[in-house]
């Protein structure tokens, strides 16, 4: 059994979207309900917060450009945070008053930013996954999701993995990095218990899946066979990312259960970030390439 370590002093309402910014050796993540984008350093198995960017709305994903500029998925639109702290509004993805918000996002191997959506109240089967193109357009890749979530790409960029949480499904499809063309979705992993949330691939092509509600991270072989389970002392595991100079540290984000959840007293570390060392390293994440418009 791998040793999962509570890595942060602070607890978060809904920590999500960890990503390793290699040029600056910093970890980025968000607290969705707290309206926070956080930066931190990784020292061994511990994460220390070095900066917070506060928003007056939910924020659900973040990625960094080569120069340190951030793209942030806010409630219904994208925001660019410049290295000097100033902000510029990006495109609106969801119409105001639609009862929906943005959710998980990430960069494809060409640096284009993708982000999906969820419904705030009740179940939907018309949530989207869109890509912010280099010319500034938004291209929809999916329009029939229940809750768009984690994204990942194979080492050669020819396969894209995406999560539809309420269907308990991880899809895979062919992906053309140069043109942005995508193939038909295929079921890669179908869960029976818990809900797939954030995902990440390692250098061996294994898929790591945070399973919300189960307090676990699952590892799947390239053919979709479950090969390992990591127990996390928090029921709501939300996302995963490889971090550190050697990319051998798996970072796991979690959420704090609601106050009336009977699991809350028994899981006092819920809401923290966790780390665990892995035998196989992760893959580098492409820097965000801001659109040229």
> Cα(28)–Cα(175) distance, rounded to whole angstroms?
26
pLDDT of residue 260: 61
Is 197 an annotated catalytic residue?
Answer: yes
Ligand-binding site membership of 149 (annotated) = yes
Mean per-residue pLDDT for 24-29?
98
pTM value? 0.97
CB 200 within 8 A of CB 184: no
Ligand-binding site membership of 197 (annotated) = yes
Ligand-binding site membership of 16 (annotated) = yes
Written as six digits, the tokens of 40 are 């931190």
Domains of the chain: 5-277 (2.120.10.30)
CB 62 within 8 A of CB 53: no
Judged by average pLDDT, the poorest of 108-117, 187-196, 227-236, 266-275 is 266-275
Candidate list 21, 104, 108, 197, residue with the active-site label: 197
Taking alpha carbons only, the member of 104, 138, 63, 78 closest to residue 239 is 104
Mean per-residue pLDDT for 136-154?
98
Ligand-binding site membership of 133 (annotated) = no
Residue 1 predicted with pLDDT over 60: no
Show Cβ contacts of residue 30 under 8 Å, excluding neighbours closer than 6 positions.
15, 16, 17, 36, 37, 38, 59, 60, 61, 62, 72
pLDDT top residue among 62 and 259: 62
Q: Provide the CB-side half-sphere exposure for 141 (13 A, CA).
A: 31
**Mean pLDDT computed over every residue of the chain:** 96
């Amino acid at each position: 059994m791998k040793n999962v370590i509570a890595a942060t002093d602070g607890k978060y309402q809904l920590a999500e979207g960890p990503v390793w910014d290699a040029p600056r050796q910093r970890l980025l993540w968000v607290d969705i309900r707290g309206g926070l984008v956080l930066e931190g350093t990784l020292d061994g198995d511990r994460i220390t917060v070095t900066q917070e960017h506060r928003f007056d709305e939910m924020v659900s994903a973040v990625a960094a450009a080569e120069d340190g500029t951030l793209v942030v998925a806010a409630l219904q639109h994208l925001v660019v945070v410049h290295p000097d702290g100033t902000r510029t509004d990006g495109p609106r993805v969801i119409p105001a008053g639609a009862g929906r918000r943005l959710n998980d996002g990430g960069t494809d191997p060409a640096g284009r930013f993708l982000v999906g959506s969820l419904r705030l109240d009740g179940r939907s089967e018309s949530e989207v996954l869109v890509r912010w193109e280099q010319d500034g357009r938004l291209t929809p890749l999916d329009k029939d999701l229940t809750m768009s979530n984690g994204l990942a790409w194979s080492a050669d960029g020819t396969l894209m993995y995406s999560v539809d949480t309420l269907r308990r499904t991880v899809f895979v499809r062919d992906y053309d990095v140069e043109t942005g063309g995508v193939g038909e979705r295929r079921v890669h992993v179908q869960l029976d218990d818990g809900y797939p949330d954030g995902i990440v691939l390692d250098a061996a092509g294994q898929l790591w899946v945070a399973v919300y509600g189960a307090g676990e991270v699952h590892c799947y072989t390239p053919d979709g066979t479950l090969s390992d389970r990591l127990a996390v002392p928090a029921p709501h595991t939300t996302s995963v990312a490889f971090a550190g100079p050697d990319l051998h540290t798996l970072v796991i984000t979690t959420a704090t259960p609601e106050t009336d959840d009977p699991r809350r007293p028994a899981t006092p570390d819920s809401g923290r970030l966790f780390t665990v060392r892995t035998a196989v390293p992760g893959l580098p994440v492409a820097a965000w390439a801001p659109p040229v418009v």
